[in-house]
Amino acid sequence: MMPILFDVQSQLITSKSASENVADVKRCVAAIQQAAATHDRFLAEHWPNGDHKYKAQPKFTQLSGGIIIGKFGIQTGLMNRKPTPDDNAYDVAGCLQACVHALALINLILLQHHPQLPGLYDSGIRYQVDPNAWKAQTMKSIPTVLEQGGTDCKNLDGYELAFKWRDELLPPPMGFGCRMSRAKIYWRFLENDRLRKQLPADILASLPAQGPIPQGRLFHAQMRSPDQPWPRGYTTPDGEVTDQSRLLGM
């Protein structure tokens, strides 16, 4: 299982009326629940008669200062019953995409309350490896990323997507009137020796000295936009893809 954690800076959702602020916090919670529901749909394709105890079942905790932490787990090890390894990896990637989209929606709500937040490329943020990514994936909202000064691919994706969605939601001809850009998650399978070189020492110590490594694949998040130009992006048939991580120092 891969634990997924979200931080919702609910103490910053304050610029509207009291009822609207509460509604926006609930929208953040609902976005996390939707990501968990997407996981459950993918899992059901592998285990249609499986035990419901493997459903995501997100849990929420409110910390001091108003920060809400949402947590659930992606059952990566159970998404293993389709014909090819790529089919299985595609479903894990679909779960991760849903998580990035949930993060982007949380960021969009924060951006609506704080329009002065800097854009990704004006923020001074740089790509940073998350040393704990092998243990859990932490989806960090824009204020957390700004405070830390850097983050990994999924959080850079969620940051930039929020700004793209804000512009795309403008009515035509200024925008599309709906969210169009989306996260693109790709993966590669790694040979054991290459994968071992990327593992933290504590994780490496828990694995067999030789032999296959479970779930030997590496996922990476990018952004696919609709048919508008993106500087320094590269063109694909479905739109242009931008790799924020590479542009910011990966």
Mean pLDDT of the residues in the chain: 85
Predicted confidence at residue 136, as pLDDT, reads 87
pLDDT band at 20 (very low <50, low <70, confident <90, very high): very high
Are the CB atoms for 72 and 57 separated by under 8 Å?
yes
d(CA 35, CA 71): 11
Residue 26 exposure: Cα atoms within 13 Å on the Cβ side: 6
Task: Give 229's contacts (C-beta < 8 A, 6+ positions apart).
Answer: 240
Residue ranges per structural domain of the chain: 2-182
Predicted confidence at residue 161, as pLDDT, reads 95
Helices (H) and strands (E) in the chain, counts: 7, 10
Residue 151 exposure: Cα atoms within 13 Å on the Cβ side: 25
Task: Give 61's contacts (C-beta < 8 A, 6+ positions apart).
Answer: 68, 69, 71
Predicted confidence at residue 151, as pLDDT, reads 94
Percentage of the chain beyond pLDDT 70 is 82
State the average pLDDT over residues 174-200. Answer: 73
Task: Give 59's contacts (C-beta < 8 A, 6+ positions apart).
Answer: 70, 71, 72
Are the CB atoms for 27 and 102 separated by under 8 Å?
no
d(CA 118, CA 62): 26
d(CA 76, CA 135): 13
Predicted confidence at residue 84, as pLDDT, reads 86
Judge whether residue 215 has pLDDT over 60: no
Judge whether residue 156 has pLDDT over 50: yes
State the average pLDDT over residues 173-193. Answer: 77
Predicted confidence at residue 196, as pLDDT, reads 64
pLDDT band at 138 (very low <50, low <70, confident <90, very high): very high
Predicted confidence at residue 227, as pLDDT, reads 65
Judge whether residue 195 has pLDDT over 70: no
pLDDT band at 204 (very low <50, low <70, confident <90, very high): low
Helix ranges, the chain (H): 18-46, 85-113, 142-148, 153-168, 192-198, 201-205, 244-247
d(CA 201, CA 207): 10
pLDDT band at 191 (very low <50, low <70, confident <90, very high): low
